[in-house]
């Protein structure tokens, strides 16, 4: 039986996949496409994570799409609001009907002879796979595994008599009101959970091995709200978005160029919230430089307020082992808890775990180099949406979608069947995909493509440079090789 064919197949119906569909519809009229989504639901991250207080840690003026203004007064939004925003985008633009749910892409095989991808697509729970084909594959599959969150191997965990829950697997039956809670971790998830759980728990202890930079920001952006009240919605959104982009870039550059100055500024902020009695050196002064890892944002200082109220506390120590009642620390202290939350991170994954083949050969993405931060060397007609590590994810994804649309239109106009970033004969100095020192990146970097030191192999992590590169940069740059149909 002939398999169904599309011009483009998008993998994933999260924030990026829905954005990609919008751009394709708007910029590549008449092109056929579908979205293949492994789960039964839209929204990706914003549907999967259900722990109390789940929220963004970037402002929604940059985490939102360029084409759809964020209208809520909250700049730092809760998970359900972000999910509604994604659903609304899909509904308003008739994207919902293009999503094929319960369709996990397991394998994608490229044939140069036929200039097309063949995808093996199966229901997430197993079941029989079907095949779909497409000319161009756009992976909007996020960056981590949905199967299981990351939990280190804690010695003696089997002795613990209470419940242990990972935030990625939070469910409605997790009861925490009136209980002694222990949250293990110091990242974005831990600092989100602690103040929220502290509202009804007896007490919450945040246990961290080492501190993270934590910065308090207003949950609402007064300038943005004023602009929205006085200017046309789209103009107000555009101005706020650029304000946020430029402020973010300014602070990132300050951190890179004058790390000591940036560190003092960040610590001064923490001290203002916690007062002089609090041991900021131990609990909030990281060993690394600001932006060597993602900063943790706490809206309206909610974490600090929880600590000041006494309903939450922070302990910086190492876990020696779990006990029947809680955990025993390297210092000898035991923390007793009714419920332990392991906010210990994600398992990162490339291309949604899809196995790639090019002309019959299995390709390991880790052996490729990233082209302009969205295509992979020697892999034809494939792009992947991967956001910034130092700014909102969607800023980069919007630009990546624009680039893909330009590419598709260019190929159509010139009659090309496919395009492939070629490494060429010149040696490319390879570097790790990102220069973050965060544990979850370091654990998984070996799975990711490399980047080069120079454009177009460099991941600039810079929105303004990427506008020049992706929105206006030459497509026929001598690196991207275009091929006519039937070219072997
Ligand atoms: C709790 C949390 C908070 C975050 N907050 C922020 C923030 O404030 N700012 C920010 O910039 N970033 C944040 N991030 C990163 C966040 O994941 C991105 O911003 C964004 O939501 C990613 O969207 P996405 O569509 O690319 O990926 P996802 O949201 O992960 O969606 C990917 C989709 O692809 C599907 N999929 C994956 N593999 C396959 C396959 N093989 N076949 C079919 N379907 C597949 C998945 O089921 C999923 O629906 C946060 C992440 C988490 C976990």
Ligand 1, closest atom to CA 17? 25
Nearest CA to ligand 1 atom 6: 56
pLDDT of residue 21 exceeding 70: yes
Q: What is the DSSP string of 48-71?
A: H--STT-B-SS-HHHHS-TTS---
- Our mutation pick for probing the ligand 1 site, out of 39, 45, 248, 385, counting the most ligand atoms within 8 A of Cβ, is 45
Q: Taking the alpha carbons of 188, 191, 195, 196 in that order, is the dihedral positive or negative?
A: positive
Instruction: Please state the rounded mean pLDDT for residues 463-467.
Output: 96
- C-alpha dihedral (211, 213, 216, 217), degrees to nearest 10: -150
pLDDT of residue 2 exceeding 70: no
CA distance 133 to 120: 9
pLDDT of residue 218 exceeding 60: yes
Nearest CA to ligand 1 atom 12: 393
Structure tokens at 297: 């944002």
pLDDT of residue 451 exceeding 60: yes
pLDDT tens digits for range 168-200? 999 999 999 999 999 999 999 999 999 999 999
Structure tokens at 266: 């960040």
Other beta carbons less than 10 A from residue 12's beta carbon: 25
Peptide bond into 456 cis (omega under 30): yes
pLDDT of residue 443 exceeding 90: no
pLDDT at 175: 96
CA distance 18 to 219: 26
Q: How confident is the model at residue 426 (pLDDT cuts 50, 70, 90)?
A: confident
pLDDT tens digits for range 64-76? 999 999 999 999 9
Ligand 1 interacting residues, C-beta cut-off 6 A: 11-17, 36-39, 44-45, 49, 54, 56-58, 63, 104-105, 140-142, 146, 189, 352-354, 385, 387, 392-393
Of 36, 380, 15, 326, the C-alpha closest to 157 is: 326
Owner of token pair 């332990």: 340
Rounded to the nearest whole angstrom, what is the distance from the C-alpha of residue 213 to the centroid of ligand 1? 23
CATH of domain 3-147+347-483: 3.50.50.60
CA distance 56 to 79: 7
CA distance 77 to 299: 10
Rounded to the nearest whole angstrom, what is the distance from the C-alpha of residue 447 to the centroid of ligand 1? 18
pLDDT of residue 124 exceeding 80: no
pLDDT at 154: 95
Other beta carbons less than 10 A from residue 288's beta carbon: 16
Rounded to the nearest whole angstrom, what is the distance from the C-alpha of residue 49 to the centroid of ligand 1? 10
Q: How confident is the model at residue 428 (pLDDT cuts 50, 70, 90)?
A: confident
Instruction: Please state the rounded mean pLDDT for residues 355-373.
Output: 96
pLDDT of residue 126 exceeding 90: no
pLDDT tens digits for range 315-362? 999 999 999 999 999 999 999 999 999 999 999 999 999 999 999 999
Rounded to the nearest whole angstrom, what is the distance from the C-alpha of residue 141 to the centroid of ligand 1? 7
Rounded to the nearest whole angstrom, what is the distance from the C-alpha of residue 45 to the centroid of ligand 1? 4
Rounded to the nearest whole angstrom, what is the distance from the C-alpha of residue 43 to the centroid of ligand 1? 8
Ligand 1, closest atom to CA 353? 41
Is 3.50.50.60 the CATH classification of the domain at 157-342? yes
The H-assigned helical ranges of 179-301 are 188-198, 222-230, 233-257, 259-274, 280-284
CA distance 15 to 48: 12
Angle at CA of residue 256, ends 143 and 184, nearest 5°: 50
CA distance 264 to 247: 18
pLDDT of residue 1 exceeding 60: no
CA distance 72 to 180: 34
pLDDT of residue 109 exceeding 90: yes
CA atoms within 13 A of residue 268's CA, in its CB half-sphere: 6
Ligand 1, closest atom to CA 49? 1
Q: Quote the percentage of the chain above a pLDDT of 70.
A: 99
- pTM exceeds cut of 0.85: yes
**Burial grade of 186 (CB within 10 A; 0-12, 13-18, 19 or more):** buried
Nearest CA to ligand 1 atom 22: 142
3-147+347-483 and 157-342 in the same fold = yes
Of 466, 435, 464, the C-alpha closest to 451 is: 435
Q: Taking the alpha carbons of 263, 268, 270, 276 in that order, is the dihedral positive or negative?
A: positive
Instruction: Provide the residue ranges of all domains of the chain, joining segments of one domain with +.
Output: 3-147+347-483, 157-342
Q: Are strands 334-336 and 326-329 parallel, antiparallel or unpaired?
A: antiparallel
Nearest CA to ligand 1 atom 50: 56
Instruction: Please state the rounded mean pLDDT for residues 101-126.
Output: 93
Q: What is the DSSP string of 350-377?
A: SGGG-EEEETTEEE-GGGSBEETTTEET
Rounded to the nearest whole angstrom, what is the distance from the C-alpha of residue 322 to the centroid of ligand 1? 32
Q: What are phi and psi of 168, to 5 degrees?
A: -65, -20
- Our mutation pick for probing the ligand 1 site, out of 14, 129, 385, counting the most ligand atoms within 8 A of Cβ, is 14
Ligand 1, closest atom to CA 44? 49
Q: What does pLDDT average to over the chain?
A: 95
Lowest mean pLDDT among 85-89, 107-111, 385-389, 440-444: 440-444
Buried-state track 310-349, b at ≥16 Cβ within 10 A, e below 16: ebbbbbbbebbebeebbbbbeeeeebebbbbbbbbbbbbb
Ligand 1, closest atom to CA 352? 38
pLDDT of residue 397 exceeding 70: yes
Rounded to the nearest whole angstrom, what is the distance from the C-alpha of residue 355 to the centroid of ligand 1? 19
pLDDT of residue 435 exceeding 80: no
Query: Phi/psi class of residue 478: alpha, beta or left (left: φ > 0; alpha: ψ in -120 to 50)?
Result: left
- Our mutation pick for probing the ligand 1 site, out of 196, 393, 398, counting the most ligand atoms within 8 A of Cβ, is 393
Rounded to the nearest whole angstrom, what is the distance from the C-alpha of residue 348 to the centroid of ligand 1? 11
Rounded to the nearest whole angstrom, what is the distance from the C-alpha of residue 14 to the centroid of ligand 1? 6
CA distance 1 to 375: 32
pLDDT of residue 488 exceeding 80: no
């Amino acid at each position: 039986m002939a398999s169904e064919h599309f011009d483009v197949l998008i993998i994933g119906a999260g924030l990026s996949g829905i954005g990609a569909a919008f751009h394709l519809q708007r910029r590549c009229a008449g092109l056929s496409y579908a979205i293949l989504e492994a789960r039964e639901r839209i929204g990706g991250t914003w549907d999967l994570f259900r722990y109390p207080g789940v929220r963004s840690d970037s402002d929604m003026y940059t985490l939102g799409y360029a084409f759809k203004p964020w209208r809520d007064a909250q700049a730092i939004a809760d998970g359900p609001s972000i999910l509604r925003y994604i659903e609304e985008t899909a509904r308003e633009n008739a994207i919902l009907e293009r999503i094929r749910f319960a369709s996990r892409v397991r394998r994608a095989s490229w044939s140069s002879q036929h200039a097309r991808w063949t995808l093996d697509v199966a229901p997430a729970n197993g079941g029989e796979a079907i095949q779909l084909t497409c000319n161009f594959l756009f992976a909007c599959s996020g960056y981590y595994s949905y199967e299981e969150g990351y939990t280190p191997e804690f010695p003696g965990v089997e002795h613990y008599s209470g419940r242990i829950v990972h935030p990625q697997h939070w469910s409605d039956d997790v009861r925490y009101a009136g209980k002694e809670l222990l949250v293990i971790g110091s990242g974005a998830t831990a600092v989100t959970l602690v103040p929220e759980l502290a509202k009804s728990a007896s007490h919450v202890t945040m246990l961290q091995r080492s501190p993270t930079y934590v910065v308090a920001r207003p949950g609402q952006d007064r300038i943005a709200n004023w602009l929205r009240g006085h200017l046309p919605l789209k103009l107000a959104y555009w101005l706020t978005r650029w304000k946020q982009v430029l402020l973010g870039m300014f602070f990132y550059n300050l951190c890179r160029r004058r790390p000591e100055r940036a560190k003092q500024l960040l610590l001064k902020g923490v001290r203002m919230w916690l007062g002089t009695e609090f041991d900021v050196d131990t609990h909030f002064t990281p060993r690394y430089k600001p932006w060597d890892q993602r900063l943790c944002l706490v809206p309206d200082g909610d974490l600090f307020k929880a600590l000041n109220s006494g309903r939450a506390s922070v302990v910086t120590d190492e876990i020696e082992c779990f006990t029947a009642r809680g955990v025993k620390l390297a210092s000898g202290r035991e923390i007793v808890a009714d419920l332990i939350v392991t906010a210990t991170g994600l398992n990162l994954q490339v291309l949604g775990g899809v196995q790639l083949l090019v002309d019959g050969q299995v390709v390991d993405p880790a052996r490729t180099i990233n082209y302009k931060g969205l295509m992979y060397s020697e892999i034809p007609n494939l792009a992947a949406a991967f956001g910034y590590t130092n700014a909102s994810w969607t800023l980069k994804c919007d630009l990546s979608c624009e680039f893909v649309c330009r590419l598709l239109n260019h190929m159509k106009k010139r009659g090309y069947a496919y395009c492939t970033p070629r490494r060429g004969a010149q040696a490319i100095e390879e570097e790790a995909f990102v220069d973050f020192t965060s544990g979850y990146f370091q654990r998984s970097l070996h799975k990711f493509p490399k980047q080069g030191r120079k454009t177009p192999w460099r991941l600039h992590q810079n929105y303004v440079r990427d506008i020049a590169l992706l929105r206006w940069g030459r497509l026929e740059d001598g690196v991207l090789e275009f091929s006519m149909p039937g070219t072997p």
